């Protein structure tokens, strides 16, 4: 009876452990489902449905192929391919930092390319890359039934020439990861992709880092988004999440913030304005999420320092508005002053006395009309008159003639 109780206890404990493990896996998957970050190594590939497969756990794994007729072939996964024989080793290429790991079709799931092998007797090979190798990766077992279980094995080896070899490798592939929105980029320049490249968040922006923090004085940052034109309509409006929620005011604006479709030729722009309302010893975390219809969202995180508090968006906007109004008033006043000086100099610059005052010409015309059409100025031919171009307001007696001439009248008399 005691043994039965113990067995039931063990069975129940196992079920509880299994249930807890499943729940933990679901929670972990849900927590990481929103971020498509680039793997830390180049040993990954995207399948034909844009799901990511990370083979980082197999880096350096050795797969050997014993051949009775040829030299033995060895693959160090995501590192190199070489043949081993009594005379020595011959290198058939290396897996460098460039991602030569792509999806395939048919019975082959992925294809790896290894370049820059030994040049001996292969100096004239394609692009002078020396010996090269192509590894066709089959998820599961070989077609002939080999490699049942385990880490996999080499199914077949075919030498196209002394400089190139084709290899079929069967391995247990990992479960597909998140779906990547290929061709999507985010950067600080229309032609850069420091933050997101090919739909995957780059290292340094997948979470908050003090080394990548923005300073307190930098109150805004501009982001540029590009995507494949045929899929650009799938991009939606971005959202933000701040941690902690209080103390940092963040606002998004621009064409990218409105959900406009970005393209390679016409990138959209997101202007991030942030104001430190409360000083903090540790940086704030600003997580920006860009939803993509049918794909996992693109997420990246910024770190913002706030060593001291700053004025709000309203005060800054009001200050700029006042400055703009004062500038407009100054420009209008300056323009009118310049025009007035110009008109005055062109019309009255050569005149003297009362005639130089603005409006005297109109006043003289009125006086002339009131006096019966007489001109209020002396004849220009009278050069001996010392009061040329001056108005005569009194009747001057003629000392030469006893009586005033009826044909002459004084000018400007009322």
3-state SS track over 255-296: CCCCCCCCCCCCCEEEEEEEEECCCEEEEEEEEEEECECCCC
Question: Which residue do the tokens 């880092």 mark?
Answer: 209
| pLDDT confidence of residue 306 | 94
Say if residues 35 and 206 touch (Cβ distance below 8 Å): yes
Give the pLDDT band of residue 126 (cuts 50, 70, 90): low
Find the mean pLDDT for residues 333-359.
69
**CA-based nearest residue to 118, from 94, 146, 148, 153:** 94
Higher pLDDT, 318 or 75: 75
What's the length of the chain? 414
Distance, in Å, from the CA atom of 188 to the CA atom of 38, rounded to the nearest integer, reads 18
| pLDDT confidence of residue 391 | 46
| pLDDT confidence of residue 269 | 96
Residue-wise over 305-314: b if at least 16 C-beta within 10 A, else e? bbeeebeeee
Higher pLDDT, 9 or 71: 71
* Bridge partners (DSSP) listed for residue 300: 288
| pLDDT confidence of residue 363 | 74
For residue range 388-412, what is the model confidence (pLDDT) as tens digits?
444 444 444 444 444 444 444 444 5
For residue range 36-82, what is the model confidence (pLDDT) as tens digits?
899 989 999 999 999 999 999 999 999 999 887 788 999 999 999 99
| Residue 389, CA atoms < 13 Å, CB-side half-sphere | 9
Predicted confidence (pLDDT) at residue 88 exceeds the cutoff of 80? yes
* Bridge partners (DSSP) listed for residue 210: none
Distance, in Å, from the CA atom of 309 to the CA atom of 20, rounded to the nearest integer, reads 45
List all residues 6 or more positions away from 162 whose beta carbon is below 8 Å from its beta carbon: 121, 122
Could you give the dihedral angle defined by the CA atoms of residues 315, 316, 318 and 321, in that order, rounded to the nearest 10 degrees? 170
Q: In what order do the strands lie in the sheet with 132-139?
A: 101-103, 110-114, 132-139, 164-171, 153-161
Question: Which residue do the tokens 């019975």 mark?
Answer: 107
Distance, in Å, from the CA atom of 186 to the CA atom of 254, rounded to the nearest integer, reads 14
Distance, in Å, from the CA atom of 159 to the CA atom of 70, rounded to the nearest integer, reads 10
| pLDDT confidence of residue 345 | 65
All domains in the chain, ordered by first residue: 44-171 (2.70.130.10), 185-310 (2.60.40)
Residue 238, number of CB atoms within 10 A of its CB: 22
Say if residues 65 and 73 touch (Cβ distance below 8 Å): yes
For residue range 189-218, what is the model confidence (pLDDT) as tens digits?
999 999 999 999 999 999 999 888 999 999
Which range, of 18-27, 78-87, 163-172, 388-397, averages the lowest pLDDT? 18-27
- Global pTM? 0.66
Q: What is the rounded average pLDDT for all residues in the chain?
A: 80
Instruction: Give how far the C-alpha of residue 369 lies from the chain's centroid of Cα atoms, to the nearest Å.
Output: 75
Find the mean pLDDT for residues 366-374.
72
| pLDDT confidence of residue 98 | 73
Q: Which helix (H) or strand (E) holds 241?
A: strand 239-243
Helix (H, G, I), strand (E, B) or coil at 28: helix
Q: Enter the tokens of residue 101.
A: 């790991």
Question: Which residue do the tokens 């940086």 mark?
Answer: 283
Predicted confidence (pLDDT) at residue 343 exceeds the cutoff of 80? no
Give the pLDDT band of residue 30 (cuts 50, 70, 90): very low
């Amino acid at each position: 009876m005691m043994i039965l109780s113990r067995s039931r206890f063990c069975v129940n404990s196992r079920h509880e452990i299994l249930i807890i493990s499943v729940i933990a896996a679901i929670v972990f998957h849900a927590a990481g489902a929103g971020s498509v970050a680039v793997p830390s190594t180049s040993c990954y590939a995207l399948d034909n449905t844009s799901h990511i497969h990370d083979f980082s756990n197999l880096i350096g794994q050795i797969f050997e192929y014993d051949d009775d007729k040829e030299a033995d072939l060895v693959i160090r996964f995501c590192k190199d391919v070489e043949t081993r024989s009594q005379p020595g080793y011959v290198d058939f290429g290396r897996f460098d930092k460039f991602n030569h790991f792509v999806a395939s079709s048919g019975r082959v799931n992925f294809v790896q390319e290894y370049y820059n092998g030994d040049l001996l007797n292969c100096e004239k090979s394609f692009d002078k890359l020396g010996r090269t190798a192509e590894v066709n990766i089959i998820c599961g077992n070989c077609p002939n039934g080999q490699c049942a279980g385990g880490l996999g094995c080499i199914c077949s080896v075919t030498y196209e020439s002394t400089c190139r070899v084709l290899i079929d490798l069967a391995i247990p592939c990992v479960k597909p990861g998140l779906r990547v929105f290929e061709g999507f980029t985010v950067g600080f320049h229309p032609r850069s992709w420091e933050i997101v490249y090919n739909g995957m968040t780059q290292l340094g922006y997948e979470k908050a880092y003090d080394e990548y923090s923005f300073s307190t004085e930098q109150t805004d940052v501009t982001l540029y988004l590009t995507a494949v034109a045929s899929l650009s309509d799938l991009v939606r409006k971005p959202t933000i999440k701040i941690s902690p929620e209080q103390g940092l005011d963040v606002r998004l604006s621009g064409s990218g913030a409105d959900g406009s479709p970005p393209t390679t030729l016409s990138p959209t722009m997101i202007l991030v304005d942030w104001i430190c309302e409360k000083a903090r010893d540790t940086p704030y975390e600003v997580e920006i999420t860009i939803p993509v219809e049918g794909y996992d969202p693109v997420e990246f995180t910024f770190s913002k320092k706030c060593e001291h508090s700053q004025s709000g968006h309203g005060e800054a906007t009001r200050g700029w508005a006042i400055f703009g109004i004062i500038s407009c008033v100054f420009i209008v006043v300056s323009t009118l002053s310049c025009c007035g000086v110009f008109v005055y100099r062109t019309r009255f610059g050569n005149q003297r006395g009362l005639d130089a005052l603005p409006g005297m010409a109109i006043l003289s015309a009125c006086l002339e009309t009131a006096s019966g059409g007489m001109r209020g100025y002396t004849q220009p031919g009278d050069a001996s008159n010392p009061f040329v171009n001056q108005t005569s307001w009194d009747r001057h007696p003629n000392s030469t003639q006893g009586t005033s001439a009826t044909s002459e009248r004084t000018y400007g008399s009322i």
